Structure 1
């Protein structure tokens, strides 16, 4: 159970003076709000620590994630970001990007056999990730929900786990993997062995391939029971045993290359873009 989300911190309310606010997402340790104020429309993220239960261990890092993302965005040159601390954790304010995510946009691909993914959308996702890679960063949490398909461009969001430059020590926390559906085998192996890993651009490529595959077909790249414990999921990913499923059209071969077991066998984001264009 996610429980009731905390209210927006007073400092955020004072900064935005909302005329409307809508809870978009409430999960363990964080909530996301769509807030409209006099200055525009914003996404507000609020983080707080997760207490240990019989089902999961304590997760104090969730309290730091919004401020860490804010610091990363500042390092990447965004000047329309604010972030700070409140009594239970941290928060950030960033522009609201309107549009469906990749998985929702491609629903017809999964429900109508004759519908193929548009190359222009794939290229937009590639360009968004390429922009990040060109600045020397790895995202660390590439997944379909993090590509917002806007009317003019595609936005890559949720950079709380990104690595590639300095982040204030008070907001930093180790990378312990991401959503296993999109986790590269080498990341899964390291997390199983040590509890931590290092986000890389090669792992981002794998995650992009897995994101495109599941969005186009509805199938995960690696097979494991839906209710399997996280370590069992990671063991399946680390083994490299792929499902025999392909995305439709020419995209299928490119995704297969992106999902190569060895990082050095995957194309770079530049090579993916060149193959598409």
Structure 2
């Protein structure tokens, strides 16, 4: 194994062997993310590039097991599971997962030119692609659970949605450990549901459309879609739990976006977030609305 960094965790030999078999030999390993309880490796070889996720400890291992199970059950067109293994019952729980590497820019990356006051066409195209990918997922009866512009990769074969630990079938309760993803992108209704003491939060596509619009707003502006300052809130000093409780009150107004260089792009996003869940457009309808935004 050729590596580009010294890891804090050891990749199991079986995972290493499978990754090399998939990628082909010689394979080059690059450590993309290294935290105390999980890693992400990119393994590149003559056959293909694969992603290897390794998790250690009960919380991280169970999260990776949930992601592997979700990926196996989710509709075609997403990330395929090539190999996976786990042991969450031993004294030191562990898990690993191998999938094809999703090659391409994230939605956040594609918005860079827009944030630099150019590249409107590229950003609009990426936004439409993401909305359509989410719409297809919802149509197939699934919700992602942690949409954000860094979790969607625009590949030559279409959008690939990453970080599917929170994914679930529509109508099924999510894991008790589910926290809702990035708190700034939570709809007030979902934030309130997560604050409730009643077990068994069920994700709704309408709340995910809110998160979808909020994430695109963030990618376009680098600012959060809620007007925290107008509500007297300094979000940088609050914990995620405190902020979630504030969002759950539904008393924080949406940012206007009027000062942005492309307010026409922000308008359908703001409308989607402002509407009540029952009146909110579907992800596919939001895609259609964004297609008509003037460059």
TM class by shorter chain equals 0.7 to 0.9
Q: 2:274 aligns with which of 236, 260, 265?
A: 260
| Aligned residue number for residue 112 of structure 2 | 107
What TM-score results when the alignment is normalised by the length of structure 2? 0.78
Alignment CA distance shift 1:83-1:99 (3 Å): same
Q: How does 1:213-224 map to 2 (within 5 A)?
A: 213-222=217-226, 223=228, 224=234
Of structures 1 and 2, the larger Rg is shown by 2
Alignment CA distance shift 1:127-1:225 (3 Å): same
| Aligned residue number for residue 84 of structure 2 | 83
| Aligned residue number for residue 122 of structure 1 | 127
Q: How does 1:1-277 map to 2 (within 5 A)?
A: 5-17=8-20, 19-27=27-35, 29-37=37-45, 39-49=47-57, 60-77=58-75, 80-86=81-87, 88-112=93-117, 115-116=119-120, 118-164=123-169, 174-194=177-197, 197-222=201-226, 223=228, 224-240=234-250, 241=252, 242-245=254-257, 248-260=262-274, 262-277=276-291
> When the two structures are aligned, how many residues end up with a matched partner?
260
The 1-side partners of 2:198 and 2:103 are apart by 36
Deviates more, 1:260-269 or 1:93-102: 260-269
Alignment CA distance shift 1:245-1:166 (3 Å): closer
The 2-side partners of 1:185 and 1:220 are apart by 14
Per the TM alignment, residue 27 of structure 1 is displaced from its structure 2 partner at its CA by 3.8
C-alpha contact (below 8 Å) 1:101/1:144 kept by paired residues: yes
The 2-side partners of 1:174 and 1:81 are apart by 26
Unmatched runs of 5 consecutive residues or more in structure 2: 1-6, 229-233
| Aligned residue number for residue 52 of structure 1 | none
Per the TM alignment, residue 30 of structure 1 is displaced from its structure 2 partner at its CA by 2.4
Q: CA RMSD in A?
A: 2.7
The 1-side partners of 2:56 and 2:272 are apart by 35
The 1-side partners of 2:198 and 2:149 are apart by 25
The 1-side partners of 2:154 and 2:31 are apart by 20
What TM-score results when the alignment is normalised by the length of structure 1? 0.83
- Deviating above 6 A after TM superposition, structure 1's stretches of 4 or more consecutive aligned residues are none
Per the TM alignment, residue 16 of structure 1 is displaced from its structure 2 partner at its CA by 1.9
Deviates more, 1:211-220 or 1:126-135: 126-135
Deviates more, 1:124-133 or 1:217-226: 217-226
SS at match of 1:142: coil
The 1-side partners of 2:133 and 2:236 are apart by 30
The 2-side partners of 1:174 and 1:231 are apart by 13
